[in-house]
Amino acid sequence: MSAIGRMTCSISHDMRHSLTAIYANAEFLERHDIGASVRADLLLEIQEAVLAMT
């Protein structure tokens, strides 16, 4: 039971890290005052976070 708890905690931590990156970068993408190169960088970071989760 203890091993399952540690494993769940580790998975939860890893998923929160990726989800935080996705959420924050998606919020930045909503801004209208950023350029195309910044948008491309933000999208790349989102894609990397999604790949890390899978």
Over residues 27-45, the pLDDT tens digits come to 999 999 999 999 999 999 9
Question: How high is the pLDDT of residue 23?
Answer: 95
Taking the C-alpha atoms of residue 38 and residue 25, their distance in angstroms, rounded to an integer, is 10
Tokens (6 digits) for 20: 């935080």
Question: How high is the pLDDT of residue 6?
Answer: 87
Residue 51's CB is within 10 A of a number of other CB atoms, namely 9
- Show the domain range for 40: 2-53
Say how many domains are in the chain. 1
Question: How high is the pLDDT of residue 41?
Answer: 96
Taking the C-alpha atoms of residue 35 and residue 43, their distance in angstroms, rounded to an integer, is 12
Give the global pTM. 0.75
Percent of the chain with pLDDT over 90: 61
